[in-house]
């Protein structure tokens, strides 16, 4: 109940309890100022406090992710300590009394990533786990590699990937039967329950800590680099390749450039302003290669260098963006969509699998259900299996017989025997291999895209994203669609709607609606798993490139009409 001054005594009590156990002077100062302001009747401070203490960040797509700050709805040292202690309890329970679980911890260059990683390693060691801390800030794929290479029971990567600068996160992987993949149900809920138990019963100051954790040897990073370079050793045509690389202020450059050199490719022209880690991301409003303007510096560098190709990683280097020269667009450079890059890499993987002397039984390609249906056409062409999964590499990486997987959000898994997650570094090596092979034949990646269309069909995709301040708006739109399903999208009748809320066929439950139109076009609606966005995915197949684009434009217009009617 709010007092006449506008503040809620229960929220203030929770904030004071939080202050008493917060080991971070910065967030203590931040929270103490908010409490004092709320007590003095500041309505904005009271509202801020209520938001921070409205619940707890819960395990989502792969763990925790949120804005840095004080309180249980923010990322901070209290929340991370409780998460580490809860994960330790889960691992200890799963391992039984006769085995000491191994857990490896990595971190990127975001603000507080190193602090959260060190806290976690100390708490894991304090719980008598065999805790291993990576030797320095490194890409997420190195952590995913380390889980398998060390035979670890679990791995934690402190990163918010491509999220805004003020975010951070806590991504969890499991070893053993999970083979180094990200967590899925029921493990996420079981870990969440352990975290909640710790948070309710043990002050952070009383969570045991120890300095008896290990630091992983440099040889572990060397092994990742060697395995990644082996994905696509440089073909003869790669000699003299003139290309540009940006790390987007992230941690990818050192590891990636080592793999580039070991694979035999010429060094790139770097985007100097973005090559070193910087958690403030000073040259981009949003450190995601998909966002408008994020690659402008890379394009400017490419124009100055007369480059043939641009490659970009996101800040933790688990995603890859590729751009090619295109005189028809403003600025002369065009970023390939995630589907275009994913289909090129899927075609490459299918050729390799089909021609392998020891082709694995049941070899299959996989992509999330919101990614291009073109991958299924590739799999069928080469006699491979195909799997569509829920969104996220925690699902893609578990596809039976997987030899390649991708997601349209710039995520690609090209070496599943090495890393069971999206890996923007190994995918970049594979793209360099394709570019080098094409170059040796006097062709380009644009020529490969044209050949793909002629071989498999003219697939076209688009996405509409609606960012909201209040996530309840998204829930309301999804509820409205279920209560009153559309009979038409634009001028075309809807023939079927697959609602995945309780699972569908062999897909587990998810908040997804898949809408099929009578002319074969597809519209998928789902909330984002990592951002306050509603996402609509549009896919068509045409008789020509022009036909596909025309059909896609009509579907996009119909989708926007649907959104307007629901707003």
Q: Which structure tokens are listed for 51?
A: 């938001």
380 contacts: CB under 8 Å, gap ≥ 6: 386
| Strands of 208-275, DSSP E | 214-215, 243-246, 269-270
Residue 542 backbone phi and psi in degrees, to 5: -115, 175
Alpha carbons 283 and 413: distance in angstroms, whole number:
28
Is 386 in contact with 379 (CB distance < 8 Å)?
yes
d(C-alpha 181, C-alpha 154), whole Å: 9
- Report angle CA 208, 32, 40 to the nearest 5 degrees: 150
Closest by CA to 215, choosing from 85, 82, 106, is 106
How is the beta sheet containing 333-335 ordered, strand by strand?
Answer: 269-270, 243-246, 309-313, 320-325, 333-335
| Element of type H or E holding 566 | helix 545-566
In the set 161, 372, 426, 461, the catalytic residue is 161
Q: Which residue in 24, 124, 129 sits closest to 74, CA to CA?
A: 24
Give dist(CA 439, CA 238) in Å, integer.
7
CB 490 within 8 A of CB 554: yes
How many Å apart are CA 112 and CA 47, to the nearest integer? 26
Pair of tokens at residue 294: 């994020």
161 is annotated as an active-site residue:
yes
Residues forming the active site: 161
């Amino acid at each position: 109940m709010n007092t006449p001054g506008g503040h809620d005594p229960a929220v203030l009590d929770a904030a004071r309890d939080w202050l008493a156990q917060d080991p971070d002077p910065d967030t203590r100062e931040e929270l103490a100022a908010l409490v004092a302001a709320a007590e003095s009747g500041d309505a904005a401070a009271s509202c801020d406090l209520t938001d921070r203490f409205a619940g707890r960040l819960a395990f989502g797509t792969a763990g925790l992710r949120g804005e840095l700050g004080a309180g249980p709805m923010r990322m901070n040292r209290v929340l991370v300590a409780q998460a580490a202690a809860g994960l330790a309890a889960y691992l200890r329970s799963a391992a039984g009394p006769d085995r000491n679980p191994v857990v490896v911890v990595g971190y990127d260059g975001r603000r507080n990533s190193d602090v959260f990683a060190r806290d976690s390693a100390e708490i894991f060691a304090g719980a008598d786990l065999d805790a291993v801390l990576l030797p320095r800030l490194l890409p997420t794929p190195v952590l995913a590699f380390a889980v398998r290479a060390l035979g670890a029971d679990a791995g934690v990567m402190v990163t918010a990937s491509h999220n805004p600068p003020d975010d951070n996160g806590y991504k969890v992987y499991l070893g053993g039967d999970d083979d180094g993949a990200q967590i899925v149900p029921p493990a996420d809920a079981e870990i969440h329950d352990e975290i909640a138990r710790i948070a309710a019963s043990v002050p952070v100051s009383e969570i045991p800590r120890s300095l008896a954790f290990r630091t992983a040897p440099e040889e572990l990073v060397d092994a990742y680099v060697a395995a990644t370079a082996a994905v696509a050793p440089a073909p003869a045509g790669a000699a003299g390749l003139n290309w540009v690389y940006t790390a987007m202020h992230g941690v990818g450059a050192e590891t990636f450039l080592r793999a580039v050199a070991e694979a035999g490719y010429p060094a790139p022209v770097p985007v100097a302003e973005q090559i070193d880690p910087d958690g403030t991301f000073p040259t981009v409003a949003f450190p995601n290669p998909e966002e408008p303007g994020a690659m402008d510096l890379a394009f400017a560098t490419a124009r100055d260098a007369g480059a043939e190709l641009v490659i970009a990683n996101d800040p933790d280097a688990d995603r890859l963006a590729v751009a090619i020269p295109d005189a028809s667009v403003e600025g002369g450079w065009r970023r390939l969509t995630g589907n275009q890059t994913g289909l090129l890499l899927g075609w490459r993987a299918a050729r390799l699998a089909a021609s392998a002397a020891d082709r694995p039984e049941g070899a299959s390609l996989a992509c999330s259900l919101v990614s291009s249906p073109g991958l299924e056409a590739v799999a069928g062409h080469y006699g491979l299996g195909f799997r569509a999964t829920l969104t996220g590499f925690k699902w893609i990486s578990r596809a039976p017989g997987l030899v390649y997987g991708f997601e349209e959000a710039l995520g690609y898994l090209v070496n599943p025997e090495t890393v069971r997650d999206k890996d923007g570094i190994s995918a970049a090596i594979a793209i360099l291999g394709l570019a080098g092979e094409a170059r040796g034949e006097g062709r380009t990646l644009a020529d490969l895209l044209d050949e793909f269309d002629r071989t498999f069909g003219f697939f076209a995709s688009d996405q509409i994203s609606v960012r909201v301040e209040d996530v309840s708006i998204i829930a309301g739109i999804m509820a409205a669609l279920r209560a009153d399903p559309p009979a038409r999208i634009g001028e075309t009748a809807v023939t079927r709607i697959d609602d995945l809320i309780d699972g569908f066929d062999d897909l587990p439950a998810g908040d997804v609606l898949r809408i099929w139109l009578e002319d074969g076009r597809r519209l998928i609606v789902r909330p984002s798993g990592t951002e306050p966005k509603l996402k609509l995915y549009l896919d068509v197949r045409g008789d020509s490139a022009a036909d596909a684009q025309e059909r896609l434009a009509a579907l996009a217009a119909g989708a926007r009409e649907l959104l307007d009617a629901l707003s």
